[in-house]
A and B are shown apart, each in its own frame.
Chain A
């Protein structure tokens, strides 16, 4: 090499952004993602035909199906891409060369997470753009749906963080099961509170209360029904939900970094 390089330790940002960029590139070069995206877009477009079968509430059906498509497709991507991200690096041993560079482990986990979030955001933007075009053909504005889509993204950021946490110490199958279980439990979090009220005082109630705290309250992030029916959503409610969701996602990500920090790479 013509010139010797002074080996300065790079800051944390170049490593995280390089890993995020590479994760994004991997996802967008995967044909499965396009297949799923095409399916979701088809669903949004098909909602226009489904709407013809109803009288008077066509746009509600379109909005409902459109938001559901964004949510379900996002969930599938977050789970299936998320659980394999860290596992694949370990399984294919690409992690050895990666961590032999000046990259701290938390930067690796954060970079992977940031890459996944950028994929989820891009998908949501593409789907929302298609939904917008469909709504315009009915002369409807998509603006009232924006808070609901934003909170779908916040929900996906929690799901993605859980997927990465689980995939940093178990295999993709178990990680996927665990992530889906957390998602379902998150949408049933009201039932923990109800259960806590119904069971008698004692250790059982304490445990249920702890669980209701631990499980993400995903219902709080679900504004789809309100948005579809045009119910005005107070800005405070959205702001609080965003803070809660992002706080939860960051806490899970920090836990993922701690778990990964302790991990050894034997195989």
Chain B
């Protein structure tokens, strides 16, 4: 993987003003990161983190108040870079009076493709997103998942170098999410760069080479998941059948029938518990090492403690 960035943001600030100039909302507050060529980069954060605003800034749909942005070596919104970018907005809505084929043909025309190239690429792309049999169906008859897949088709029709996806998994069922995941991995395998925003962390954990975590428009973490997350177990969860040794009753997390779930803080304590349980007539059913997940990190950053989150699990 080369280190040449396809996206570069430096100290970007975007402020929105209310009606008639009253009120002020800082959507992006000094954000800076790079997306390298050939990587899958996740821009993560809770609602209101400034993810969509950042993506719109990259496409020239919004202009930054300060800071600098380069996309594929050009300023945002320049046709030279837009010709090499594919974009899927959040919860897309498309012209419902068109059929799937007409819709993609329209985007092919915007890219100046010849009639022959359009017809070949439209057929190939519909096949790739599993919509070939819907080519002649009007979009108003498409389900939400199909619209999302067609949106992806539109984003990859011209074989872009950089694909920007805003919440590509939102509103999809597990099968749909799996398909989008496979498509992103396929893009990476073909050497394309992918930048996507998400608040669904499992997807990011599976897909991303690197992630940025933003909270309220500010960058909180940037790097590989390995750098960010401690890979050593942070605690253990032990399930015991039968009586629980007295020393551990305070660590009980939940109980169901004769089964009790106990939280054990470290390896030493785990050894003591495993030794004590048989002596009291109980039996260890399972031991789960718990590592810090992206979700733990995420919750910590947005102000919810890991403990509280652990309790909820």
Cβ of A264: which chain B residues have Cβ within 8 Å of it? 61-63
Comparing A10-18, A35-43, A129-137, A173-181, the segment that makes contact with chain B is A10-18
A199 interface residue per 8 A CB criterion? no
A102 interface residue per 8 A CB criterion? yes
CA distance A17 to B112 in the complex (A): 10
Cβ of B41: which chain A residues have Cβ within 8 Å of it? none
Contact call B158/A7, Cβ cutoff below 8 A:
yes
With contacts A1-B156, A5-B158 taken as known, whether A97 is within 8 angstroms of B109 at the C-beta atoms is: no
CA distance A25 to B159 in the complex (A): 27
With contacts A101-B82, A103-B79 taken as known, whether A265 is within 8 angstroms of B111 at the C-beta atoms is: no
With contacts A22-B95, A26-B95, A96-B61 taken as known, whether A265 is within 8 angstroms of B56 at the C-beta atoms is: yes
CA distance A7 to B60 in the complex (A): 19
CA distance A54 to B53 in the complex (A): 67
Kindly identify which residue among B92, B121, B158 contacts A97, using a CB–CB cutoff of 8 Å: B92
Return the chain A residue nearest B124 by Cβ: A1
A111 to chain B, nearest CB (A): 10
Cβ of A22: which chain B residues have Cβ within 8 Å of it? 95, 98, 106
Cβ of B156: which chain A residues have Cβ within 8 Å of it? 1
A185 to chain B, nearest CB (A): 27
Cβ of B84: which chain A residues have Cβ within 8 Å of it? 7
Cβ of A4: which chain B residues have Cβ within 8 Å of it? 159
Return the chain A residue nearest B109 by Cβ: A18
Kindly identify which residue among A2, A5, A8, A100 contacts B61, using a CB–CB cutoff of 8 Å: A100
Cβ of B88: which chain A residues have Cβ within 8 Å of it? 97
Return the chain A residue nearest B77 by Cβ: A99
B248 interface residue per 8 A CB criterion? no
CA distance A9 to B112 in the complex (A): 8
Return the chain B residue nearest A263 by Cβ: B61
Kindly identify which residue among B110, B121, B164 contacts A98, using a CB–CB cutoff of 8 Å: B110
CA distance A9 to B78 in the complex (A): 10
A44 to chain B, nearest CB (A): 28
Kindly identify which residue among A7, A10, A25 contacts B97, using a CB–CB cutoff of 8 Å: A25
Return the chain B residue nearest A96 by Cβ: B89
Contact call B85/A2, Cβ cutoff below 8 A:
no
Contact call B106/A97, Cβ cutoff below 8 A:
no
Cβ of A3: which chain B residues have Cβ within 8 Å of it? 159
A88-122 residues at the B interface, CB under 8 angstroms: 92-94, 96-104
A198 interface residue per 8 A CB criterion? no
A33 to chain B, nearest CB (A): 12
Contact call B110/A101, Cβ cutoff below 8 A:
yes
Contact call A15/B110, Cβ cutoff below 8 A:
yes
CA distance A122 to B83 in the complex (A): 33
CA distance A97 to B151 in the complex (A): 9
- Can you report 12 A-B residue pairs in the complex whose CB atoms are below 8 A from each other? A4-B159, A9-B80, A10-B111, A14-B110, A25-B102, A96-B59, A96-B61, A97-B88, A99-B59, A100-B164, A101-B111, A102-B80
Residues of A near any B CB (own CB < 8 A): 1-5, 7-11, 14-15, 17-19, 21-22, 25-26, 29-30, 92-94, 96-104, 264-266
| Known A7-B160, A99-B61; further 10 A-B contacts with Cβ < 8 A | A15-B110, A17-B109, A22-B95, A30-B97, A96-B87, A96-B89, A102-B79, A102-B82, A265-B56, A266-B62
